[in-house]
Amino acid sequence: MQSDARPGSRHAEREARCIICKVGRMRPGETTFTFDDDQDLTVVIRHVPAEVCDCCGDAMVDEATARALLTMAPRPPAGGVVVLDYAA
* 6 band by pLDDT with thresholds 50, 70 and 90: very low
Spans of all domains in the chain: 10-85
Q: Which residue has the higher pLDDT, 10 or 59?
A: 59
Question: What's the topology of domain 10-85?
Answer: Ubiquitin-like (UB roll) (3.10.20)
pLDDT at 3 over 50: no
Cβ atoms < 10 Å from Cβ of 52? 20
pLDDT at 71 over 90: no
